[in-house]
Amino acid sequence: MIQVGILTVSDRSARGERPDESGPAIRQIVEQEMQAHVAEYAIVPDERQQIAALLAKWSDELNLDIVLTTGGTGFALRDVTPEATLDVIDRRTPGLEEAMRAESLKQTLHAMLSRAVAGMRGQTIIINLPGSPTAARQNLAVVLPALPHAVRLLRGMAAEGEHVAGPLDTA
């Protein structure tokens, strides 16, 4: 079973001033549609070192397959989730980033302001999602079909050229 961590990045939610709506929305999708296990969930403030430390711990010590962050990907001065992610990943996965932005642009032109990144640290996939519950759900829906195959590849359980059926397949 795929092991997932969900990290909400929000100063206000970390201080208890606002409930986290995105984390639970992501959890529902991960558990119901992906049938994965949410092994870790946390809320942290927009602090680069704190975000990076948790991403590294969940990847290196807990060996999670996927870590999904929500929040801190925009233009605000305290939005540092992409920088924290870049601090810890070994390799970027631009296809995931591009797919999320392309789909989001169909909803709003503000999607071009997203700085979200995605990448791998060892055998863990780390993906930044927006802080809005609606946008987080939309972005996750775009990449979700590819994630089980990506996890199998990182685990060495799938061949690189293995075909994964998707919505664009006509056969």
Q: Which tens digit of pLDDT belongs to each residue from 8-58?
A: 999 999 999 999 999 999 999 999 999 999 999 999 999 999 999 999 999
Taking residues 131-158, report their average pLDDT.
Answer: 95
Answer whether CATH 3.30.420.40 is correct for domain 3-155: no
Residue 69 φ/ψ, nearest 5 degrees: -100, 155
| pLDDT bracket for residue 167 (50, 70, 90) | very low
Q: Tokens 């305290």 appear where? A: 78
Indicate whether 169 pLDDT > 90: no
> Three-class SS string for the chain?
CCEEEEEEECHHHHCCCCCCCHHHHHHHHHHHCCCCEEEEEEEECCCHHHHHHHHHHHHHCCCCCEEEEECCCCCCCCCCHHHHHHHHCCEECHHHHHHHHHHHHCCCHHHHHCCCCEEEECCEEEEEECCCHHHHHHHHHHHHHHHHHHHHHHHCCCCCCCCCCCCCCCC
Q: Answer yes or no: pTM beyond 0.75.
A: yes
Q: What sign has the CA pseudo-torsion 141, 142, 147, 148?
A: positive
Beta strand pairing status for 118-121 and 124-129? antiparallel
Extents of the domains making up the chain: 3-155
Q: What sign has the CA pseudo-torsion 129, 133, 137, 139?
A: negative
Taking residues 141-149, report their average pLDDT.
Answer: 97
pLDDT for 137 equals 97
Among 60-64, 108-112, 162-166, where is mean pLDDT lowest?
A: 162-166
Selected residue with higher pLDDT from 160 and 128: 128
Cα 56 to Cα 124: distance, rounded to the nearest angstrom: 10
Indicate whether 171 pLDDT > 90: no
